[in-house]
Each structure stands twice: as structure tokens, then as C-alpha cells.
Amino acid sequence: MRKSLFSFSLMASLTLTSCSTVLNNLPGVYTLEIQQGNIIDQNMINQLRPNMDKRQVLYIMGSPMLVDYFHKNRWDYVYSVKPSGEDAVEKKAFLVFKTKEDGTDRLVGMYGDFKPSNLPVVKPSEEKTVDLPKREVDQTLWEMITGLFGFDGTDDSSAPKNAAKPQVDLPL
């Protein structure tokens, strides 16, 4: 009895631990892509320059993911993505600031998974300008709707019945 109970519990534990492996790798099962943290790419890192103040860095990188109480002059940016059916990919960038004599915090260094470029930053514009021809409209939608009911837009109820209508000469 004891031997069969032991073998049953051993088999059950092996089956339960293998379920997660089997269920995670089933073909045709859709799993979500999970993104966490600040999205970091090489273009953002290339825009950083030494002696930038915290506001300029905040504009480029966004707010830091982690703010360490013991390291107030270090901002931590962590980005993790787990594409469906693949292993998780994690990217990190740590920016170090130093307080100058004038009281401003300036960027003095960075480390992590990215290397800053020495080349000048050329950011292509993603905006497109399209020139549209002027649209000539004979009547507005409201004028078309009121025209169906016989209204021409003038209010004749306040005018006397025999009043002469003003004549307007239009240039030809």
C-alpha cells in the first residue's frame, strides 16, 4: 500500500510539473506579447549628450522606471518584452547625474545595454504635407435640405406684403 501511494504521488507530481511546459509550447495557441517598462531604443540613447540637465533627459527618455532612494543621481530605465512563444528580452539603461556648482543636475555618464553614438543626431521628420485644391461648393448641406422643402433662407413673415424688394445689380 505504501509503495503504491508513493509511486502514485511521484507520478502525479511529475505530471503536474510537466503541464506548464506542455501548455506553454502547444502549437496554434495564441499568447499575448507582454511589454513592461519604458520603451528604450538606440535612437533615444543617441540623442543624449554630456552635461544635459534632467529636464532635457526627461524630454528624450521619459520618466525613469526606477528611482532609487539611495542613489538619487541615478535614473534606471528598464524595458522588458516577451514576444509570444519566445523568451523574454530585457534592455536596461542607467543614467548618472552630478550636481554642478550652479545647483543643476547634469548628465555625466551612462551604462547598460546601449552605447551612445559619437555621430551627430539626424532625426528625419515623419510629418507629411499635402496640398489640397480648394473645394468649391455651390450650396451648403443646410441650403440643399431647406431647398427641398421650398425654403430659400429668407424670413418673409416680418416684411409687409406689398413691400418692394431691393434690387441688386451683380457684375457680369
- pLDDT (tens digit, 9 = 90+) per residue, 83-112? 876 788 899 999 999 988 888 889 999 999
- The domain in which residue 86 lies consists of 31-112
Q: Is residue 167 part of a domain?
A: no
Identify whether 123 is part of a domain. Answer: no
Asked whether residue 26 is domain-assigned, the answer is no
Q: What is the spatial distance between Cα 155 and Cα 53, in angstroms, rounded to a whole number?
A: 66
- Domain assignment present for residue 158? The answer is no
Whether 107 is covered by a domain: the verdict is yes
Low-confidence ranges of the chain (pLDDT < 50): none
Q: Is residue 128 situated within a structural domain? A: no
Q: What is the pLDDT of residue 69?
A: 83
Kindly report whether the global pTM for this prediction surpasses the value 0.75: no
Q: How far apart are CA 11 and CA 14, in angstroms?
A: 5
Per the domain annotation, does 80 fall within a domain?
yes
| 61 closest CA partner among 23, 19, 14, 116 | 116
Residue 66 lies in a domain: yes
Number of domains into which the chain is organized: 1
